[in-house]
Chain A
Amino acid sequence: MRAFVYNVVLTIFWMAVTEAFTLENFLVGFVICFLILLLARPLFDAPSRRYFTLAWKLPRFVLLMLWEIVLSSLRVAQAVLSPRMPIKPGIIAYPLEVRSDLEITLLANLITLTPGTLSLDVSSDRKVLYVHGMFVDDPQKVIESTHESLEKAILEVTR
């Protein structure tokens, strides 16, 4: 967090020095200041240093999210357009490993955007997420694949 504040402050200095307060110049300055701070990485303490690992983990996470949306839309399109509708719906309980509000929200959103699953509700003690699946052949398999592809990715970004 502190590294991010430094980055923004440095960028403001950059804009002042280059005398151009535009969005383009802000973006250019932000990247340059990020690279400068990257050189000064050893000077930060461990929690602030997470900012630098996030810088490449976050874009990867966003890409994963977008890719999942494309995949799931294709799957829905296939199901909607096929004459006999090969769906096997079911509501399953997904045991949550993530704990904080932000993580649960992210996971619930991602589950809705991934192929064949839609999050319905979280239990009040936040241990279980109820998921509606469109192609539930085996609840265990749905739980495993969600855990492998989504929950781990979220834990990588938030912890």
Chain B
Amino acid sequence: MLEWLVYILVLGGVFFLFIAAIGVVRMPDLYNRMHATSKAGTLGVGLILVAVAVFYQELSVAARALSILAFIVLTAPVAAHALGRAAYLSGVKPCKDTYIDELAGHYQANHRLESVETEATQRKL
């Protein structure tokens, strides 16, 4: 019974990692690729870690798996943010389907980023 749960979890994890890999190939630009890796990648690794915890059924293994999971959840978005920001600063253009780009022109020469007030931001405040 538990074995099947492990199979399902590992298969699910591999599936989402596979999705992330396909996403990297298929998405039109760097920013959209980041979506695939940061989300599907996190869930894929997470499912495999949960499977490890279920398989060994030991508190020490589970504690380690859970802490790895916690750090991945905390750091994967930071990595995506750092990559996205670096790409934008070095001039990687969003693909031509990109609907709006409110970030355009707001980076100053010293990499300081100014805030903007658009219609949408004002309506919320």
Contact = CB atoms under 8 A, between A and B. Distances in A.
Contacts, number: 169
Interface residues of B, number: 57
Given A76-B40, A77-B19, A118 B106 contact: no
B8 to A, nearest CB: 14
A65 B76 CA distance: 14
B60 A23 contact: yes
Contact of B77 (A88, A113, A144): A113
Given A81-B19, A85-B26, A88-B99, A139 B85 contact: no
Given A92-B102, A130-B102, A121 B88 contact: yes
B120 A140 contact: yes
Would you call the interface of chain B mostly helix, strand, loop, or mixed? helix
Given A69-B39, A76-B23, A87-B97, A95 B124 contact: yes
Nearest to A90: B99
A118 B22 contact: no
A139 B120 CA distance: 7
B94 to A, nearest CB: 7
Contacts of B104: 91
Chain B CB count within 10 A is highest, among A118, A121, A132, A139, for A132
Contacts of A77: 15-16, 19, 40
Contacts of B98: 89-91
A124 B32 contact: no
A134 B36 CA distance: 10
A89 B29 contact: yes
A120 B103 contact: yes
Nearest to B30: A132
B107 to A, nearest CB: 9
A49 interface: no
Contacts of B39: 69, 72-73, 75-76, 112-113, 115
Interface of B: 15-16, 19-20, 22-23, 26-29, 31-32, 34-36, 38-40, 42-44, 46, 59-60, 63, 73-74, 76-78, 80-81, 84-85, 88, 94-95, 97-104, 106, 112-116, 118, 120-121, 123-125
Given A69-B42, A120-B31, A136-B100, 13 more contacts: A23-B60, A77-B19, A87-B27, A91-B98, A110-B77, A111-B77, A120-B85, A121-B84, A123-B115, A124-B115, A130-B102, A132-B94, A140-B124
